[in-house]
Amino acid sequence: MMFNEIDKGAPVLDVVVSEEARHEDGRISCVIGNHIQFSENQLLSYCFAEWKPVVFDMLVVAAAVEFCDRLHRRPTFGWRRKIYLEVPVHDRALWESQKVKETLLSALGFLTGDCWNIAFVNRKRVEGSRTQSSLPLPSGARAIVPFSDGMDSRAVAALSAQKLNSEVIRVRLGGKKYDQPRKDGRLQPFTNIPYQVRSHERRFAESSNRSRGFKFSMISGIAAYLSDVDTIIIPESGQGALGPPLIPVAQIYPDYRNHPLFTERMEKFFLALLGYRVSWTFPRLWFTKGETLRAFVAETTEGNEWSKTISCWQQNRHVSVDGHRRQCGVCAACMLRRLSVHAAGLSEPANHYVWENLSASTFEQGANHNFQKITSALREYAIAGTMHMDHLAGLADSSLYQSTIKRNAAQVARALGIKVEDAEMKLTSLLHRHRNEWHAFVESLGPVSFVRQWTANVL
């Protein structure tokens, strides 16, 4: 595997996707059927209507982008990589058209922070058609909801169905439960992402995986297109969607995967490629996660399911206790979850987490005594998670960040088509409510908590 270096160390990747294994002089090979592996059962859940080769091509493109994004570690100092990618498609003229390429590269570059150059070539053979007679879609469904084991997706799917007075189409994006759900003995549509991407090595080298947002948006958009639905509901609450761009870390490029600025670009791409107008909406954008959880419990019949959801970013092998998987309890996702549970006036058993006791005076003492994998990396994750919540809480009252808030509000307003002053008012209010929830949560942990020791905005 060869990499050249330009722009003071920025790596160059040159990847060619092919339908069969072949030697590529100096290029990295990504073979469909080997590095991109489709699951026939899951692919069939996307084939309940007329077989559309362009949809298969979209899945291959999403998989190829993921392969490139995860293949090579980002530079130690800096972020950007230059990625050349060649992909075989059924209709080269369509994919090579100016509008399609412009919108695709705009979305990818904005999301990942990399410089992408993608060329499309004609496939050597037509992919065989796959069609099932029918798969049951909810009657009268008016929206798609990307769905996982997470708290927000579970809550917002239920809240949205209630508000729309109709079922929503849930598009499975991951998780380990209900991967092949059935209704009346029949498989359901969109039961999981229909492919897996594998590296040449045992594991991929790069863990940031910023292209995940492209994969999820592509899958959700395809589901909307096949279902003849024009609305996709993003379940993320305000802190998760708007927080990362407000407080980027050092040289790390901001995470825009659930941000209106990214989905606006995906809308343009879908219109250019498919001639199909789909809209991503953010019903909980101006709410905290705690407010979303409180509404889920109070307003829906599924509210008691919240405690079964999974928020943790850590992999199973890193956060098991006595052979049982737990959530770590200290990464940014877990910290936001625990903050939100407290803000909603709820509680959950301490043994849902590896770090059972956030009131402990040291990081090490907070973990379950049988947990043997306390590492410096986990400690850094915990510090980063706490500081992210704390920095976000400090924005509302900081004169230094007023220009940042105004700029971000203006960008969101443009993407959503609302007035700038309305976006600024809503964003400022969201930050104040997050601050209040964070202060109350940290104070509830007591004066000696290791979490409190890491904060700067809670006295």
pTM: 0.92
Confidence band, pLDDT 50/70/90 cuts, at residue 288:
very high
Query: Region 217-223: what's the mean pLDDT?
Result: 96
Contact between 232 and 220 under an 8 Å Cβ cutoff? The reply is yes
* pLDDT confidence of residue 31: 95
* pLDDT confidence of residue 14: 95
- Indicate if the pLDDT at residue 128 is higher than 90: no
Does residue 103 or residue 6 have the better pLDDT?
Answer: 103
Query: Region 109-115: what's the mean pLDDT?
Result: 97
pLDDT digits (tens, 9 = 90+) for 206-218: 888 999 999 999 9
Q: How far apart, in whole angstroms, are the C-alpha atoms of residue 34 and residue 20?
A: 9
Nearest to 308 by CA among 172, 138, 187, 175: 175
Query: Region 54-69: what's the mean pLDDT?
Result: 97
* pLDDT confidence of residue 183: 54
Q: Which of 35-39, 315-319, 340-344 has the highest mean pLDDT?
A: 340-344
Query: Region 267-286: what's the mean pLDDT?
Result: 98
- Indicate if the pLDDT at residue 52 is higher than 60: yes
Distances from the Cα of 162 to the Cα of 136, 142, 157, 298, 300, angstroms: 20, 12, 9, 12, 8
Confidence band, pLDDT 50/70/90 cuts, at residue 185:
low
Does residue 343 or residue 202 have the better pLDDT?
Answer: 343
Q: Which of 99-103, 288-292, 372-376 has the lowest mean pLDDT?
A: 372-376
Contact between 271 and 277 under an 8 Å Cβ cutoff? The reply is yes
* pLDDT confidence of residue 191: 80
Confidence band, pLDDT 50/70/90 cuts, at residue 37:
very high
